[in-house]
Amino acid sequence: MRWPGCLAVVGCTLLASIAGCEFGQGTTGGAGSTGGSTPPVGAVGVVDLDAVARHLGRDEQISSAIRQRQASLNEQLATVKTSYEEEIAQKQRQFGASPSAEQSQLLANIQRQVGTSLNEIRRRAQKNLAVHRVQLVQDFREEARPFVQQVARERGLSVIVTKNDSVVFDYEAAADITGEVAKRMAARQPSGAAAPAERTASRPAPPRR
């Protein structure tokens, strides 16, 4: 099962900045993981960043951070909604059981405005969550980049593509550097590493009256 905001959403190609290497054609064959002989200089390598994240436990950390952000946004939305409902109830008490036509129109306008405002806040919250998800994924990609580049240099690879079934149809086992990247990242990862820090979500401003 792929974790939220899979690593392929922000691009399918991770360019390894390796001086003196030119793009070359890689050979195709049976798909595999790590192992086999070292590909020739100029070959294209493949890395499965989803698998690397699972190996490091980062998929669960990212999922947890996304759930925390979603819970925070839902709580903010509930707070704003309660505030609006209290404002409407206060107006209703002020106008009494038999409001005038003008007062009834005012209440209807307020309720319509509140509905529009809540829909806009929900839209912004969904966008906020999507941006947060992409940022967490991008942060992990950037963290993995130097390890990918290091392995690519050692194997004479000019270009590394992330494993994506819609892009990578087939490849030799020797072209897959996933295992080596995961191994090196795990060696540098502190024990009991904390989940990605939760960025503070700004509270939506109430609509103008």
For 5-15, how does the pLDDT look when each residue is reduced to its tens digit (9 = 90+)? 443 333 333 33
pLDDT band at 59 (very low <50, low <70, confident <90, very high): very high
**Residue 108: band (very low, low, confident or very high) from pLDDT cuts 50, 70, 90:** very high
**133's tokens:** 């998800």
Neighbours of 202 (CB within 10 A): 9
pLDDT tens-digit map of 118-164:
999 999 999 999 999 999 999 999 999 999 999 999 999 999 999 97
171 φ/ψ angles, rounded to the nearest 5 degrees:
-165, 160
Q: Is 128:201 a contact under the CB 8 Å cutoff? A: yes
Arithmetic mean of pLDDT, 58-62 = 95
Q: State phi, psi for 154 to the nearest 5 degrees.
A: -65, -30
The total number of residues written for the chain in this structure: 209
Whole-number Å distance between alpha carbons of 93 and 99: 10
Nearest residue to 117 via CA among 147, 84, 161, 149? 84
pLDDT-derived band of residue 40, with 50, 70 and 90 as boundaries? low
Q: What is the pLDDT of residues 173-192, one digit of tens each?
A: 889 999 999 999 999 987 65
164/26: higher pLDDT: 164
Q: Where are the domains of the chain?
A: 7-188
Higher pLDDT, 135 or 172: 135
CA distance 132 to 66: 7
Tell the residue number behind the tokens 């992409």, with chain if given. Answer: 134
| Strand ranges for the chain from DSSP E | 13-14, 43-47, 157-162
Distance CA 112, CA 129 (A): 26
Strand partners, 159: 44
Which residues lie below 8 Å from residue 37, measured CB to CB, with a gap of 6+?
A: 174
Higher-pLDDT residue of 89, 164: 89
Average pLDDT, the chain: 78
The 8 Å CB, 24+ separation contacts for 21-28 are: 21/156, 21/157, 21/158, 22/158, 23/158, 23/159, 24/158, 26/171, 26/172, 26/175, 27/172, 28/169, 28/170, 28/171, 28/172
